[in-house]
Amino acid sequence: MVDLYALQTPVVLIPLVVIVSLLVGSFLNVVILRLPIMLFREWKRECSTLDDNLPKHPALDDLDAPYNLVKPDSHCRNCQAPVKPWQNIPVVSFLLLRGKCASCGTRIGWRYPVVEAATGLLSLVVALYFPWGWPLAAMLLFTWLLVAMSVIDIDHQILPDSMTLGLMWIGLLLNTQAMFVPLESAVLGAAGGYMALWSVYWLFKLVTGKEGMGFGDFKLLAALGAWLGVGALPIIILLSSLVGAVVGIAGILIMGRDKNLPIPFGPYLAAAGWIAALWGENLMGWYLSIL
Ligand SMILES: [Zn+2]
């Protein structure tokens, strides 16, 4: 448990972190929804034979209409009614609207308040562990990017380069000041993270003839290595494989999921990286004590 008396961030500032994070969570919903569509539009422009594999979305039918993280304004996907400011309050608006569009009554997805609440909750935990200042700000950004990437990977089985590589460069830049680990450890972590999964990928492909994960996974682990250093890689790989295997097998046994369907590995890497960022040293000590 967190000892509130030992908190390094002033207690009065914690609610501020949570409120800002809820608002960020609301924006993450926009990123999660639109960034993949923006990528698909780009791919479709470059390659007109791609159609079959893309999700249905109006912005993919009309490539000339503006579509980015800001435009068009948020609207109901059924009746096009614009979302008014009071309908855009994280979590609260969803409850006030009882999960339905105010104009046409179409159900609003659960995922919107869930992403907002999860972002707020995870950010609260980060604020309880990191002292007020740049390390906390950096770790919040780390958390938010991981949330968005995880949901995008679950939705579309892609991890956009702009997010994985962006996260990696930010981690390397922060660690030029040794914010979390010495720069040497960060560089080794980035390169080692990429190569570790790259080797697993080729080994798996040689043995089974199938592709077990995507290149986005390598880049995500490289980003985690850049933030948390080469020493965090074993615990991240161990945790993500463990949880991934448990969830994967449960999915096949309980849900009757087809075992040949690809399982997105990004969310497990992201979760393991996040846990390692907060409790990595304790876990490592515990792991070594067992050995
Ligand atoms: Zn509507």
For residue 177, the CA-to-ligand 1 centroid distance in Å is: 49
Question: pLDDT in tens for each of the 291 residues of the chain?
Answer: 566 666 777 888 889 999 999 999 999 999 999 999 998 888 887 776 666 678 888 888 888 889 999 888 888 888 889 988 888 899 999 999 999 998 999 999 899 999 999 999 999 999 998 888 999 999 999 999 999 999 999 999 899 999 999 999 999 999 999 999 999 999 999 999 999 999 988 888 888 877 777 889 999 999 999 999 999 999 999 999 888 888 888 888 887 767 666 668 899 999 999 999 998 777 767 767 776
Gap from CA of 149 to ligand 1 centroid (Å): 27
CA of 276 to the centre of ligand 1 (A): 42
What are the CA-CA distances from residue 166 to residues 78, 137, 163, 224 (Å)? 34, 16, 5, 11
In the reported structure, the alpha carbon of residue 104 is separated from the centroid of ligand 1 by a whole-number distance in angstroms of 4
pLDDT at 231: 93
CA of 99 to the centre of ligand 1 (A): 11
CB atoms < 10 A from the CB of 259, how many? Answer: 11
Which string of DSSP letters, residue by residue, matches 72-135?
SPPB-TTT-PBPPGGGGSTTHHHHHTTTB-TTT-PBPPTHHHHHHHHHHHHHHHHHHHS-TTHH
- For residue 102, the CA-to-ligand 1 centroid distance in Å is 7
Domain boundaries defined on the chain:
1-132, 134-291
| Distance between Cα 230 and ligand 1 center (Å) | 49
Q: What is the 107 CA–ligand 1 centroid distance (Å)? A: 8
Instruction: Specify the pLDDT at position 281.
Output: 75
Distance (angstroms) between ligand 1 centre and the Cα of 96 equals 15
Q: Which of 158, 148, 161, 170 is nearest to 31 (CA)?
A: 148
The model's pTM is 0.86
CA 7–ligand 1 middle distance (angstroms): 45
Distance in Å, CA 73 to ligand 1 centroid = 14
Assigned token pair, 53: 């594999």
According to the model, what pLDDT value does residue 32 have?
A: 94
How far, in Å, from the CA of 83 to the mean position of ligand 1?
9
Distance between Cα 89 and ligand 1 center (Å): 17
Q: How many angstroms separate the alpha carbon of residue 204 from the centre of ligand 1?
A: 47
pLDDT of residue 141: 97
- Between the CA of 112 and the centroid of ligand 1 the distance, in Å, is 15
The pLDDT score that the predictor gives to residue 218 is 94
